């Protein structure tokens, strides 16, 4: 399974157009898409973030991909997502630059959930997926290259979580706060949609390290990555960030589901052993995974000294997105002149408040031991 990696330092429309043209030619995607009557582009549109903060898929990536699609005779193109939290979708389109691209190139914007959902039972899960997504014969999945405070890494498999409309995503965080079980959910969604996905892309020109997916540090990784296989793409991208990919539940589980081993992944020689230097990883969930393997008596002692939880800083603008998005209603805002309060007995540490806050007002507060271990 081939993963196409290209060094592209900035959002050059021509370089991106050439990159996608090469991928289309190598994978004969023009021929594959010729029989499809429509294509859905599924970017990462987490919330109301401008392109330069590296939280969402960059609009120039979308523009270049649409140009290649049109050259290959594909004109019935849609772009859709369901942002996290309580963001107004129209604001997300506008601020992320997608509205401008859609108007310029005559592509149709769709908001997942507006035409209903379909319930799909698979294994332990009842999945609720947007009906529109399920009806598309072809999907191009366009993720953003970022660390993630709960899942460690967010890539192509995680990006398909956006096919779950609105605050249903928060309900899933409430039902499956454990990172392993949540990863099982993400891979179950991936399994439902993967036959429709004709190409997976990761926008890594500017990505995010540290406490992603929205409150981390933007970094110019200077790469674009693509593959027909989401699991192969995520394995490769995570390894390049210096993660041990087998420790990331979504990567491990999706590779197993696809019956794919690292030896099956084909890379150009330049990238076979490549790793970015000194990537800051969001290590909270790494230690959560480690603690599950420790005896319960030691866990109790350790947890007295080691703890982390979301808290608010001076950036809070009282927008109430965290209050409305909290799946267990652990956050309240009683007085409009004070920051919200968190009931830590109720909080499940799903980090939805951290993920959805558009102002970087939520940070991860740590005890002294946690500061040492999670630095």
CA distance to 129, 245, 293, per residue, from 189 (Å): 8, 20, 27
What's residue 244's pLDDT? 87
CA distance to 98, 170, 188, 291, per residue, from 244 (Å): 34, 28, 22, 17
Closest CA to 214 of 365, 367, 50, 329: 50
**Looking up tokens 């107004």, which residue turns up?**
88
In this structure, what DSSP letter does residue 55 have?
S
Backbone φ, ψ for residue 20 (5° rounding) = -65, -35
The whole-angstrom separation of Cα 68 and Cα 296 is 55
The dihedral over CA atoms of 368, 370, 371, 375, expressed in degrees to the nearest 10, equals 160
Positive or negative: CA dihedral 18, 226, 238, 272? negative
List, in sequence order, the alpha helices (H) in the chain: 13-27, 29-34, 59-71, 89-96, 98-105, 131-135, 156-159, 168-175, 179-193, 230-240, 249-257, 284-291, 296-305, 321-325, 352-356, 368-373
Give the three-state DSSP class for 42. strand
Q: What totals of helices (H) and strands (E) does the chain contain, helices first?
A: 16, 15
Cis ω before 213 (30° cut-off from 0): yes
CA angle 339, 345, 349 (to 5 degrees): 75
User: For residues 159 and 142, is the Cβ–Cβ distance under 8 A?
Assistant: yes
Closest CA to 49 of 91, 111, 78: 91
In this structure, what DSSP letter does residue 2 have?
B
Residue 210, token pair as written in the block: 């540290």
The dihedral over CA atoms of 335, 339, 345, 350, expressed in degrees to the nearest 10, equals 130
Per residue of the chain (375 residues), what is the pLDDT tens digit? 999 999 999 999 999 999 999 999 999 999 999 989 899 999 999 999 999 999 999 999 999 999 999 999 999 999 999 987 777 889 999 999 999 999 999 999 999 988 899 999 999 999 999 999 999 999 999 999 999 888 889 999 999 999 999 888 888 988 998 888 999 999 999 999 999 999 999 999 999 999 888 889 999 999 999 999 999 999 999 999 999 888 899 999 999 999 999 999 999 999 999 999 999 986 555 555 555 555 666 666 655 666 778 899 999 999 998 998 888 899 999 877 788 999 989 988 777 888 788 888 998 787 776 666 555
The whole-angstrom separation of Cα 316 and Cα 306 is 26
User: For residues 193 and 163, is the Cβ–Cβ distance under 8 A?
Assistant: yes
Give the three-state DSSP class for 255. helix
Backbone φ, ψ for residue 24 (5° rounding) = -60, -45
Closest CA to 85 of 364, 362, 280: 362
The whole-angstrom separation of Cα 57 and Cα 206 is 9
What's residue 125's pLDDT? 95
Q: Are strands 39-43 and 139-148 parallel, antiparallel or unpaired?
A: parallel
What's residue 2's pLDDT? 98
What's residue 84's pLDDT? 74
pTM of the model: 0.85
């Amino acid at each position: 399974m081939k993963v196409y990696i290209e060094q592209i330092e900035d959002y050059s429309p021509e370089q991106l157009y050439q990159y996608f043209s090469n991928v289309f030619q190598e994978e004969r995607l023009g021929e594959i898409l010729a029989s499809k009557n429509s294509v859905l582009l599924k970017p990462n549109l987490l919330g109301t973030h401008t392109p330069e903060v590296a939280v969402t898929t960059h609009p120039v990536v979308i523009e270049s991909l649409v140009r290649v699609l049109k050259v290959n005779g594909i004109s019935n193109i849609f772009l859709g997502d369901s942002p996290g939290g309580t963001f107004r979708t129209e604001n997300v389109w506008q601020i992320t630059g997608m509205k401008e691209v859609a108007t310029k190139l005559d592509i149709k914007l769709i908001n997942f959930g507006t035409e209903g959902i379909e319930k799909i039972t698979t294994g332990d899960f009842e999945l609720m997926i947007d009906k529109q997504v399920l009806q598309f014969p072809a999907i191009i999945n366009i993720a953003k290259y970022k660390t993630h405070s709960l899942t460690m890494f967010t890539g192509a498999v995680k990006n398909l979580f956006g096919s779950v409309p609105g605050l249903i995503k928060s309900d899933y965080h409430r039902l499956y706060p454990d990172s392993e079980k949540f990863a099982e959910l993400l891979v179950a969604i991936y399994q439902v949609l993967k036959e429709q996905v004709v190409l997976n892309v990761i926008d890594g020109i500017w990505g995010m390290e540290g406490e992603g997916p929205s409150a981390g540090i933007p970094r110019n990784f200077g790469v674009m990555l693509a593959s027909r296989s989401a699991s192969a793409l995520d394995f490769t991208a995570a390894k390049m960030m210096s993660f041990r990919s087998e420790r990331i539940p979504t990567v491990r589980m999706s590779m197993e589901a696809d019956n794919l081993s690292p030896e099956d992944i084909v890379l150009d020689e330049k990238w076979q052993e490549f790793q970015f230097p000194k990537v800051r990883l969001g290590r909270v969930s790494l230690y959560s995974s480690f603690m599950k393997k420790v005896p319960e008596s030691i866990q109790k002692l350790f947890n007295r000294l080691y703890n982390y939880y979301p808290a608010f800083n001076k950036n809070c603008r009282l927008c109430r997105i965290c209050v409305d998005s909290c799946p267990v209603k652990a956050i309240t805002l009683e007085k409009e002149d004070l920051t919200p309060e968190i009931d830590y007995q109720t909080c499940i540490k799903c980090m939805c408040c951290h993920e959805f806050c558009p102002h970087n007002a939520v940070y991860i507060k740590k005890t002294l031991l946690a500061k040492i271990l999670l630095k």
